[in-house]
Amino acid sequence: MTAPDTSNPRPALDGWSTASAMHARVVGAVIMRDLQTRFGTGYLGFLLGLIMPLGHLTIAIVVTTLLGRPAPLGTDGPVFLMTGVLPFILWLYGHRQIMLTLLQNRPLLYFPGVDVFDLFSARMILEITSGTLVVVIVLATLAILGHDLTVGDWPAFLYGLILSWLLGVATGLIFGGLGTMWSATIIAGNIIGPLLWVTSGVLFLPDGLPDKIRDALAYNPLCQIIDGVRVAYFSEYSSSFYNPLILNTSILILLSIGMVLVPMTRRVI
């Protein structure tokens, strides 16, 4: 009897292609379900979801106006606040939505072929898409209102916004993964949002703080991101607080922890 020919890699490639196509269809279906769940079936809900981040910026502008505080950097208060609010929004929305992925979509795991990686992949794709639209809408709105959007270093500015999203993915995976084991973790994940709003430099510059507080905040990756975004935006701004090594290392560590927790959730669910 002739032995089967195993030299042809075609069957393996076809199998891999079929599996990839199946996962792509699953991810696409989960994305559509997330869109309908979050925004409804009409366009109005989707548009409101994208415009909501402008509310964060408006609140920050109103608060600083009522306090009578001038912008610590530059001459345009709303632009200064934008450089803090925009990274915070990208982190917060990504963190919150990815953290709730399994809580909201757990019933889908009972369907054949649906895996936790499919659920997280769908949510990540949706968040990077909506996050990109949010950035465009916020910048376009400020430009239409007559604010000068002259960015000193566009690549570094966009890189900082990407890091905001990656940080949201990392913390969302960590709190979401741990939340499958201890439900109190989800509560802690919601509380961390307001805490980081007041401690991440959205309304202030870390360089202006006392040394002890400044040194402690140096290990807050979101605070590093916001300061890095301002270094990139304002060409006249030079910060002794911003440390790319601490920032990149902390995000890499957090992402690694989050990715380790994802397969662990399979055994818990």
CA atoms within 13 A on the CB side of 177: 23
Give the predicted TM-score (pTM) of the model.
Answer: 0.85
22 vs 84: which has the higher pLDDT = 84
Q: What is the mean pLDDT of residues 29-54?
A: 68
User: Can you give the pLDDT at residue 1?
Assistant: 46
pLDDT in tens, 75-93: 788 889 899 999 999 999 8
The C-alpha angle 143, 148, 150, rounded to 5 degrees, equals 110
User: How far apart, in whole angstroms, are the C-alpha atoms of residue 206 and residue 217?
Assistant: 8
- Answer yes or no: is 225 within a domain: yes
- Answer yes or no: is 128 within a domain: yes
CB burial of 134-149 (b: ≥16 within 10 Å; e: otherwise) equals bbeebeebbeeeeeee
Q: How many domains does the chain have?
A: 1
By residue range, what is the domain housing residue 131?
48-268
> Residue 205 above 70 pLDDT?
yes
Residue 59 pLDDT level (bands cut at 50, 70, 90): confident
pLDDT in tens, 145-164: 888 888 999 999 999 999 99
User: Can you give the pLDDT at residue 167?
Assistant: 96
Q: What is the mean pLDDT of residues 134-152?
A: 88
CB 83 within 8 A of CB 226: yes
